[in-house]
Amino acid sequence: MGKRKLLVAVDGSEQALEAVRYVSFLKPVRDFEVVLFHVTTRVPDSFWDLEKEPSYKYRIVSIEAWESQQKEMMEEFMRRAREFLLERGYPEDAVIPKFQERQEGIARDIVGEAQKGYDAVVVGRRGLSELKDVVLGNIATKLMERLTEVPVWIVGGSPRPEKFLLCMDNSEGARRALDYFARMAAGMEPMEVTLFHAIRGLNVFRQVFGKSFGRNMEKEWLERAERELQSAEKALEPTMAEAVQRLQKAGMVSSSIHRKIARGVSSRAGAVVEEAMEEDHQTIILGRRGLSRVKEFFIGRVSNKVIQLAKDRAIWVVN
């Protein structure tokens, strides 16, 4: 297969540099091409008409200084980021800095660039405007909403692409996530993946109803819940087996592929994050789930919760 092309959206922040570092650990680097993409924001030309007004001259001087400072900062950032990738072994022609003046808006401009044959858009969880982006960076959120064809990698903390947690079920979204991972992982090393599925149990029901959940009813429900858990596991077995075969076909060795089902959890999203933390899976892979085929851009509830909770992990949202 040809080179996998990554669009790394950068804004000069430390988290953007962490996104670059994450990409730098992909191996072998000869299989990847990286475009470092920055949307520059300039003051509208109409603003400079105010230069004729004496009372605005001091403001114009400060704006000019700000523009110059921003340009110098981003040029230095691009230089550092490119050097970092080259030091990690990327060929010079595989790392391309690209500046684009803002046209429709930062997120929309990134989306527009992403349509040009990229395999993923990589973005830091938080950018320079940390106070504004308390929950999740505003740009990252908009990219997830608008990029319905290209997967988004959200990088938080300082993760490495070595141990992956691939969330599995029988949905079309999970199958797409598996196929995407198999394609991206072909030839990558070293790596390890756990195919993970969480089955909710009776815990939530018991917590809601408390003591009103009588002994006879509790026994009946427990027996029923156990049968349903066993049935759910059995229904997933063919999917898990097929996933292992798919990954082996992509070149992964059997010893690097693991399967795990968490039974009786109260929160599927919580179980995913807990598994990632306990076993040090620094990358979580999720399938996007839409509310309908029309409103495909909405992300599923479980996926959204995982994204919000796993703040120091890399998360691949596969469309």
Give me the residue spans of the domains in the chain.
1-157, 159-319
User: Do residues 248 and 257 lie in contact, with contact meaning Cβ atoms separated by under 8 Å?
Assistant: yes
pLDDT reading at 283 higher than 50: yes
Q: Which tokens hold the place of 289?
A: 């789930």
- Note the pLDDT of residue 127: 67
Q: What is the pLDDT of residue 46?
A: 47
Token pair recorded at residue 58 = 């001091």
Q: What number of other Cβ atoms are within 10 A of residue 246's Cβ?
A: 17
Would you say residue 129 has pLDDT above 70? no
Q: What token pair was written down for 79?
A: 């230089």
d(CA 295, CA 139): 20
Which residue bears the tokens 């106070």? 131
CA distances from 246 to 2, 235, 274 (A): 19, 18, 26
At 200, the pLDDT band (50, 70, 90 cuts) reads confident
Note the CATH number of domain 159-319. 3.40.50.620
Q: 31-61: buried (b, 16+ CB within 10 Å) or exposed (e) per residue?
A: bbbbbbbbbeeeeeeeeeeeeeeeeeeeeee
The predicted structure's pLDDT at residue 214: 55
Task: Give CA–CA dist 137/10, Å, rounded.
Answer: 12
Lowest mean pLDDT among 34-38, 166-170, 261-265, 286-290: 286-290
Number of alpha helices (DSSP H) and beta strands (DSSP E) in the chain: 9, 10
Report which of residues 318 and 199 the model is more confident about. 318
pTM score of the predicted model: 0.83
Same fold, 1-157 and 159-319: yes
User: Cis (ω within 30 of 0) for the bond into 190?
Assistant: yes
CA distance linking residue 125 with residue 198, whole number of Å = 25
Query: Which residues is 4 bridged to in the sheet?
Result: 32
How large a percentage of the chain has pLDDT more than 70?
A: 76
- pLDDT, residue 301, reads 76
Least confident of 98-102, 215-219, 234-238: 215-219
Helices 57-87, 14-24: inter-axial angle, 10-degree rounding: 20
Four-way CATH pick for 1-157: 3.40.50.300, 3.40.190.10, 3.90.226.10, 3.40.50.620: 3.40.50.620
The three-state secondary structure class of 197 is strand
75-108 pLDDT tens trace: 999 999 999 999 999 999 999 999 999 898 889 9
